[in-house]
Amino acid sequence: MCSRTGGRLASSLIAAVLLAAALGCGKQGPPLPPLRAVPAPVKDLTVVQQGPRLLLSFTYPTVTPAGTALAGISAVEIWSVSRVAPGGKATTIDAREFGNVAKPVQKVEGADLTSATSGSRIDIALPLPPTLLTPAPAATAPATPTPATPPAAGTAATPAPPAGPQPQAGFFAVRTLGKNGDRSDLSNIVSVVPTAPPSAPSRVTVTARGDGVLVEWTPVEGTVTGYNVYRRGAQERANAKPVHTAGAQEKSWLDNTARFGQSYIYGVTALSQLQPPIESAIASEHEVRYVDRFAPPAPTELVALAETGRVRLVWRPSEAEDVAGYIVYRRAADGGKFERVTPKPVEAAEYVDTAVSGGRAYTYRVTAVDQAGNESGPGNEVRATAP
């Protein structure tokens, strides 16, 4: 039979062993390397030619290949290779071949990425690479013609190689770099065959109006299939997709999606082909601060209903979306000027005037005021005699 002293001693030894084990588990080992933040590869890269430059666009990466959240990117590498484009058409190139022969042609980092946010679009303008410029054929003296030798019987004639420089296709992909410099895999591969663009519209004007921002331009002479109108916020560094594509005969477009209090920059390009787009450069850009200085339409169909001890006024509301209320004016029929009856704009399209004297006639009119404080002119005037 064990003694109580022996049992307490055994319990104390067990507790000491457990405590030592617990302390051993808390011992710090060598520091672990930081987790890699590799961006998932871009899958929606697009490229179009705009005048003497190429515009690349893709969605800002938000996750790693494993699907975990990405804290952001530090840089973008643009990779490219050129190939002959038979008949002006780009051939295909698979990812393995592209990865073996493509080279980085530009790296974008720092301030050029600050305007982008996670999940938004990144737009990068790339000067047209010299390798994609097809030089004009060199002038040569005419050669002395020699008699053609017919092919031997049973053999096919070998087609002559195309004369002069051949059109070049550019193939592009991007890599994005995480905050610690970890590189993503290459994106999807896109191609473009640069073509001589049309001239840009020479004169573009931008006018703020109550119903939107009016963009007007001078038509371009020659073969034009349409015009692209671009708009970006004043703080944005590059244009994304056009906000409107106008027809060849159009000379203006009203941007009724513009919002008061915002600053916008507009530009217009000419298109010689819609798909794939072949467009001019943007010759000039115009900024407008869209401030609400425009009065709303006046209320209409004002009616006065004389009731005992009061005059009830009702009217059709103003059609403006930003109407804050209505102001009622009254003038005694025996002369004088119109005086404001409502200290504050009334929100409803009616008002009851109880400050009237029986047997006396009054003339009323009503104006609308918007949220910026712009007041309309008066609508129709009505007259009523209080009973």
Higher pLDDT, residue 283 or 326: 326
Q: What is the DSSP code (8-state) at residue 346?
A: B
* CA 11 to centroid of chain Cα atoms: 72
- Give the Cβ contact number of residue 220 at 10 Å: 20
Each residue's pLDDT tens digit, 152-206: 555 555 555 555 678 889 999 999 999 899 999 999 999 999 888 899 998 999 9
Which CATH fold topology does 46-134+166-192 show?
A: Immunoglobulin-like (2.60.40)
pLDDT score at 112: 60
Q: Does 2.60.40.10 match the CATH number of domain 300-385?
A: yes
Each residue's pLDDT tens digit, 245-265: 999 999 999 999 999 999 999
Fold matches, 46-134+166-192 and 300-385: yes
Q: What is the DSSP code (8-state) at residue 125?
A: E
Query: Does the structure show a pLDDT above 80 at 10?
Result: no
**151: confidence class by pLDDT, cuts 50, 70, 90:** low
pLDDT score at 188: 96
Q: Is 44 exposed, middle or buried (0-12, 13-18, 19+ CB in 10 A)?
A: exposed
In sequence order, what DSSP letters do the residues of 249-314 get, joined into one string?
Answer: T--EEEETT--TTEEEEEEEEEEEETTTTEE------EEEEE----PPPPPEEEEEEEETTEEEEE
Q: Determine the average pLDDT of the residues in 32-56.
A: 85
pLDDT score at 36: 73
pLDDT score at 234: 87
* Whole-number Å distance between alpha carbons of 173 and 56: 9
pLDDT score at 111: 60
pLDDT score at 379: 92
Instruction: Report yes or no: 291 and 261 within 8 Å, Cβ to Cβ.
Output: yes
Write down the domain spans for the chain.
46-134+166-192, 204-290, 300-385
Each residue's pLDDT tens digit, 186-199: 999 999 998 888 99
Q: Determine the average pLDDT of the residues in 119-139.
A: 70
pLDDT score at 333: 75
* Whole-number Å distance between alpha carbons of 372 and 383: 30
Instruction: Report yes or no: 17 and 245 within 8 Å, Cβ to Cβ.
Output: no
pLDDT score at 155: 56
Query: Does the structure show a pLDDT above 50 at 141?
Result: no
Q: Is the peptide bond before 276 cis (omega within 30 degrees of 0)?
A: yes
Residues ≥6 apart with Cβ < 8 Å to 194: 49, 54, 128, 132, 133, 134, 168, 170
pLDDT score at 15: 53
* Whole-number Å distance between alpha carbons of 132 and 167: 8
Query: Does the structure show a pLDDT above 80 at 235?
Result: yes
Instruction: Just give the CATH number of 204-290.
Output: 2.60.40.10
